Amino acid sequence: MWEFRSMMFWRAVFAEFFGTMFFVFFGMGAALRWTSGPYHVFHTALCFGFAAATLIQSIGHISGGHINPAVTFAYLVGSQMSLFRAVFYICAQCLGAMAGAAVLYGVTPTNMRGTMALNTLQPGISLGMGTTVEVFLTMQLVICIFSVTDERRNGRMGSAALAIGFSVTLGHLMGMYYTGAGMNPARSFAPAVLMRNFVNHWVYWVGPMIGAAMGAIVYDFMLFPRMRGLSERLATLKGSRSPEEENQQETRGEPIELKTQAL
């Protein structure tokens, strides 16, 4: 229970709440259909991407800047965080998303509130199609996140936060034509609660979670495997080792050129 007694843990949990709140507020705010212009998808995609990059840069050094339950689940699948921390992160993200959506709802004119329901399957898109699209959108996001924040990478490769923002933008530019580009169960859950509309809502949890798990497995076990035994992975999942001990274990015996890359 060292995490529960740690002030840094609670700061990280609050950072996830805070970051997801602002991510949903700005992203959903940009997605409201004030006009029917031809650039709505591009405008929305850019705002979600910029919001992700800004907030990850702001809180990444505190909590990792997940602001997405699927990303947290990916780190859990990759045995890079404890189950205890993951549960608190996901709860904080969902509550933060609801807070951001509630504030946006309160400051939005009544005639515009109906457009807050972002995630709906477009005409002709079946449940299977929508789920598959969400799997691919989230998988590319997770692989990008794991790659640009990997502490084993040699040298600095630019801004990790900006790269992740581009990945979010990429997903929205394509996915909004199919599913509204969920990629983030918390930001799909918040408007569903406010609008009391859970039709096909499971697609926006199942798809991103499967995609996140696949992304973690592909990167951490195939593209750039982490050489850790089962006992080490279980110790991380149980939270029996602190992050400092985990980092020391990871770097012991590694080549000298593998440096930590900060957000």
Please report the pLDDT score of residue 246 as a whole number. Answer: 46
pTM above 0.85?
A: yes
Please report the pLDDT score of residue 242 as a whole number. Answer: 52
Please report the pLDDT score of residue 111 as a whole number. Answer: 84
Residues 11-55: pLDDT tens digits? 999 999 999 999 999 999 998 887 767 688 999 999 999 999 999
Query: Which residues of the chain, if any, have pLDDT below 70?
Result: 1, 36, 38, 117, 155-157, 241-263
Domains for the chain: give ranges and CATH numbers: 7-250 (1.20.1080.10)
Of 52, 54, 259, 71, which is closest to residue 167 (Cα–Cα)?
A: 52
SS (H, E, C) 190-207: HHHHHHCCCCCCCHHHHH
Residues 240-261: pLDDT tens digits? 755 445 444 444 434 333 333 3
Enumerate helices (H) and strands (E) in the chain, giving the number of each: 10, 0
Please report the pLDDT score of residue 19 as a whole number. Answer: 97
